[in-house]
Amino acid sequence: MVHLNNNKNSISINKGELVSFIHNNQQYIHQKGNKGWRKSDDEMFPVIGPTEKNDFIVHTKHGDAVQDQHGLLRELTYMLISESENQVKFQKNYSKNTWVKNSKFPSKSPEEFLFWPFDFIFEKKFTLLNDALLIDFMIQSEEGMPFMLGYHPAFLLSDTGEETLIAKNKKITLSEIINAGHNAFPVLNIEEILLINYDKKNLQIVTKGFHNFMLWTEVTNMLCIEPITQYTSFTDQKFSEKNMFLSKGINNFSVEIKIIE
């Protein structure tokens, strides 16, 4: 476990997973073991969304790959690369066509192993500031590798159902998000969103490179506010490089979680 602290904030990171963000003694991250979700944050890569309708296949110029929902990155283990007083960096490395055990098999998926026909390096860096937490992502691969990227943090709510969000000057209620179900609630073509908390300071989430969000929860004690490069829950989504980003070689994305005083 890695801990970073300053005068107002502290974060805890367990093997690359953000498990705590405390500001003025108040917790902002969903706690594992509580109702809602078994994790506190995660990444979706190289695909976002369910792949079952595509027979778990993604078509690429290097051949077909087998991917389950939200991709194989989450099946890999982060390595701690560097640590300083206010910053910590983790990395995952993947060698092309390496079979990765699918944790969803056999109870939630018929696919026992997943693979991707490209090498990649995936870095996740946390920087703790006085009024914010900055999370940077770097993806390094051969140019032209297709990919989608999503960040999947879960925020702790009051369990009252009173929290709301503001995006493009439009109010979004928690009940609207719950009613969207497993497809999640899309908020597209936008780089920032505001969470109006009921029992603590509000959060402004500002992104670079993603251009979209989706919102998901089934309960009133937590909410996933997920920056995504693409929203894939439209009915006839097909997974191929024709509707994915193409790597520039080195690709940078960032998420700033800012406390609004």
Q: Which of 13-17, 127-131, 251-255 has the lowest mean pLDDT?
A: 127-131
- On average, the pLDDT of the chain sits at 95
Q: Which fold has domain 2-260?
A: Beta-galactosidase; Chain A, domain 5 (2.70.98)
pLDDT at 237: 58
User: Quick one: which of 44, 68, 70 has its CA closest to 56?
Assistant: 68
What count of other Cβ atoms lies within 10 Å of the Cβ of residue 91? Answer: 18
Pairwise CA distance, residues 9 & 36, whole Å = 25
Distance CA 174, CA 103 (A): 30
Q: CA quadruple 41, 42, 43, 49: dihedral positive or negative? A: negative
At residue 125, φ and ψ (nearest 5 deg) are: -120, 130
Higher pLDDT, 49 or 157: 157
pLDDT at 236 over 70: no
Q: Are 193 and 227 in contact (CB under 8 A)?
A: no
User: What is the CA 43 to chain-centroid distance, rounded?
Assistant: 4
Question: Would you say residue 165 has pLDDT above 70?
Answer: yes
- Between 49 and 208, residue with greater pLDDT: 208
Judged against a pLDDT cut of 80, whether residue 34 lies above it is answered with: yes
Would you kindly state where each structural domain of the chain is located, as residue ranges? 2-260
pLDDT band at 163 (very low <50, low <70, confident <90, very high): very high
The Cβ of residue 197 has, within 10 Å, a number of other Cβ atoms equal to 18
**pLDDT at residue 182, as a whole number:** 87
- Span 89-100, pLDDT tens digits: 999 999 999 999
Q: How far apart are CA 44 and CA 134, in angstroms?
A: 18
Mean pLDDT of 104-130: 96
Mean pLDDT to the nearest integer, 73-84? 97
pLDDT of residue 239 exceeding 90, the answer is: no
pTM: 0.95
